[in-house]
Structure 1
Amino acid sequence: MDYKTSEVLEFIQENDVKFIRLAFCDIFGNQKNITIMPNELKRAFNEGVSFDASAVTGFMNVEESDLLLFPEASTMYLLPWRPQHGRVVRFFCNIKHPDGRTFEGDSRNILKEVIKESREKGFVCKIGCESEFYLFEQDEFGNPTMIPYDRGTYCDIYPNDRCENIRRDICLSLEEMGIKPTSSHHEQGPGQNEIDYEYSDALTAADNLINFRSLVKTKACENGLFASFMPRPLSTESGSGLHINLSLYKDCKNLFRDSNSSDYEYAKRFIAGILNRIEEITLFLNSCTNSYVRLGKDKAPRYITWSKENRSQLIRIPASKGDRCRMELRSPDSSCNPYIAFALLIKAGMEGIEKNLELCNPHNTNLFDVDENDVEGLKKLPHNLDKAIKIAKNSEFIKTVLPQKTIDNYINDKVEEWNIYNSITDKFKAEKELYFEKL
């Protein structure tokens, strides 16, 4: 959707809209919102709506706690799960200080700045996400349990796959929001699902992912279930990833489309840039202790390698044609803030182009079934959250994307998380308390 302010005000008036949600994310990608009434929307566009930023993790302190939300007209979404009479719409917002300055910790704006930089250099990055999640039963009081909704496996059908009606409901609701689903299926784990939707520009892709998470959790709850995007909620079952597909355009041409073209060199350097910085940015792609329980198992990568089609690699080049040609990054999970994750990935890829980094040779073996001696020389992703924190803390590259205050707030919170996790003997219990209901 691409509405102008005047069109939005007219739409609100003519379509029985009674509630307007002004949405934004904290630095960890958790969605927040303030609801206003329709007669307040014009003022919100012009003057913003104040909120207590000291109450949002990683934003401001008590002494200077006021920030303002300015809805972005082009991001208007009707919420299909709300009543059709007295409708509800949601906008994503720009966050500003009272003096009009952009709030430095607004991760959505951080992504905007990286997109602007890459456009000025002649490149546009498009992104599509493959997001996996589990559906669990609730108890008699509506609290989530660890009991999967079914015992289905990969691409099963009913009755083994009991989730198909919920996926159908989610897909129809996505369409109502202007997000076009492309496929859906049962995943490997019991109660595990995947729904994919159309590629878009990087900012829209991040907005869509935030919408998708909210929609999935809402539809699960409506069906008496609980949806979890936790990377590995069941220790004996497959983990849930967030595969990020990136394609790169120059002069309206997909540079991943023809590997025999001279322009493909840009795509190779883009991949090389991401491989070069992946250790430093892993904290922002895999941001909880549970993330590292997933890596290295069940088609989740451990080594910093690439290959064509091979699902044991960190980056693979899928067998696609036309504008669907792309690279797929397989390490991230849904604990990330997509605005920060996409910003860091695009910046790393662009650095690869600017510095003419040479892409290493592909590693065309199954890295899930290999002798340790055969991979002795390969670099690995950080093996736990503590290691990822230490690498990120020493990164000069991250400072080119994120303001120091945001980096400090992010890392300080993650250090506290690690300390809590490290102090508890039962690691699975610790992670359940830290993440199960939050992700």
Structure 2
Amino acid sequence: MSDTATVSTLPTSTPPLRELAAESGTTFVLALFTTLSGKPCAKLVPVQAIDQLERDGVGFAGYAAGMMGQEPRDPDLVAVPDPASFTPIPFVRPGLALVHCTPHVEGEAWPFAPRVILQRTLARAAAMGYAVNVGAEIEYFLVDRASGKLTTADAADVSARPCYDARDVTRMYDHLTEISTAMNALGWGNYASDHEDGNGQFEQNFDYADAMTTADRVITARYLLSVIAEKRGMTATFMPKPFTDRTGSGMHLHLSLWRGDTALFPGTDPQGLGLSPLAYSFVAGILDHACALQGVIAPTVNSYKRTGATSTASGATWSPRRATYGGNDRTHFLRVPDGNRVELRGADGSANPYLAAAATIAAGLDGVERAAHPGPLGAGAAADLPMTLVHAMDALEADPVLTAALDVAGPGVAAYFAQAKREEFFAWHNTVSDWEIDHYLTAF
């Protein structure tokens, strides 16, 4: 539940990996990329091979990695490191660092790689004269499964309204301060840690950056949160809704367009949001493609338990059900807390940050190209968001702007993604649940 304004960031030249490793005392590097589903994949590279890593990349069997658009017969997927993303993480293991990589196949950037999709989207924005800044709020639960049942890791975290509770924060002091210290050591600018609305739910906020840097940091943060929680016998889960009666976990995205050092969203307008005509067009684009966008930013079966929730123990779901926009009102799909940015509240903890940013930016830029306007504030004729993952895939496949966004680096990605997600839906649908046993076992 962040309220910090977007700031502009400019790229700087980056030394080679060997220098970065020597300066940070690195002895091993995780060469990391993500699949379309958001799974972090890596190989552990000793510093003695760091020149080879930078020169040649490191090879993976793409089909074995997961959703990468490959079959067992396909050539190696080669992860090429981006030195600008080099991140020492000695608080995980002494001498350890990670570097985010861009997957290639036979010397060409792989169209199914999420980082490639975001790179191409940002290149399109740059060609239009825009730089894109993005911030992300990462909500998660700290849980325990030792008993065979999913429970809150902190057994004392049981109050009916736990959000911001100082006592709950204090009991998780060691975990929260360790991740905060790590973020600040990396220069991310962690400015707050808080207990969210659900029992066992937390969030650490960090500064905004350019879209690629933020996407890299989301993946890094999820990794750090997971391993730091594991050290204390807990599991950090970014599952959108792990508990039926509690608020789900979002990944709210804050977006703005810049030209150099000039912020392009602030302006004077009759609706009083402090937005420029450009910003309104960007908002309109996102709203026009909201239903298809949900398929990318809420990409799991469980996502629709979050957006479809009607009530929680705290009395609020904090997740949108319609494609509305408005001012500093957290019930909207797009919230405008001030004139510097817009906050997309439809994304959840299962979203791949590269794909989520790319699809959202593409939707917004479509509105800019059409000089669209979102209409009056509030609900109006706003569309209802998809009820299930399969409804979202229907909307995605029917939306040429969003399918083109996924296919920006090459054809077939959108169709592959939609098919994989349909299979995921029907795998869940074909599984008999406890709910069915409870309702039907002796009902007839």
TM range (shorter): 0.7 to 0.9
CA distance in 1 between partners of 2:26 and 2:303 (Å): 40
Name the residue aligned to 2:281: 269
Check if 1:351 corresponds to 2:396.
no
Name the residue aligned to 1:131: 138
Partner SS, residue 311 of structure 1: coil
8 A contact 1:136–1:147 mirrored in 2 = yes
Partner SS, residue 191 of structure 2: strand
8 A contact 1:317–1:327 mirrored in 2 = yes
Partner SS, residue 62 of structure 1: coil
TM-score, normalised on structure 1?
0.87
* 1:38-117 equivalent positions in 2, closer than 5 A: 38-59=47-68, 60-84=70-94, 87-98=95-106, 100-117=107-124
Partner SS, residue 429 of structure 2: helix
Partner SS, residue 387 of structure 2: coil
CA distance in 1 between partners of 2:369 and 2:20 (Å): 44
Change (3 A) 1:349 1:191: same
Deviates more, 1:230-239 or 1:412-421: 412-421
Letter paired with 1:401: A
Letter paired with 2:38: G
Name the residue aligned to 1:30: 39
CA distance in 2 between partners of 1:159 and 1:42 (Å): 46
Change (3 A) 1:14 1:310: closer
* 1:291-370 equivalent positions in 2, closer than 5 A: 291-297=303-309, 298-318=317-337, 320=338, 325-363=340-378
CA distance in 1 between partners of 2:58 and 2:19 (Å): 20
Partner SS, residue 216 of structure 1: helix
Change (3 A) 1:268 1:427: farther
Change (3 A) 1:270 1:361: same
Letter paired with 1:151: V
Tell me how far 1:179 sits from its aligned partner.
Answer: 1.6
* 1:103-140 deviation per Cα after TM superposition (whole angstroms, max 9, x unaligned): 11121011111111111211122111112111113528
Change (3 A) 1:137 1:360: same
CA distance in 2 between partners of 1:250 and 1:15 (Å): 33
Name the residue aligned to 1:219: 228
* 1:230-258 deviation per Cα after TM superposition (whole angstroms, max 9, x unaligned): 11111011111111111122353222323
Letter paired with 2:199: P
Among residues 379, 386, 410, which one is paired with 2:383 in the alignment? 379
After superposition, the CA RMSD in angstroms is 2.3
Deviates more, 1:256-265 or 1:389-398: 256-265
Letter paired with 2:79: L
Partner SS, residue 181 of structure 1: coil
CA distance in 1 between partners of 2:196 and 2:18 (Å): 42
Alignment size in residue pairs? 409
8 A contact 1:126–1:247 mirrored in 2 = yes
Partner SS, residue 166 of structure 2: coil
User: What stretches of structure 1 of length at least 5 have no aligned partner?
Assistant: 365-374, 431-439
User: What stretches of structure 2 of length at least 5 have no aligned partner?
Assistant: 1-10, 310-316, 438-444
CA distance in 2 between partners of 1:258 and 1:399 (Å): 32
Name the residue aligned to 2:429: 422
**Percent sequence identity over aligned pairs:** 25
TM-score, normalised on structure 2?
0.86
CA distance in 1 between partners of 2:168 and 2:373 (Å): 50
Letter paired with 1:55: A
Name the residue aligned to 2:197: 188
* 1:120-164 deviation per Cα after TM superposition (whole angstroms, max 9, x unaligned): 211122111112111113528xx8833342225011012575223
Tell me how far 1:3 sits from its aligned partner.
Answer: 6.2
8 A contact 1:151–1:160 mirrored in 2 = no
CA distance in 1 between partners of 2:126 and 2:169 (Å): 47
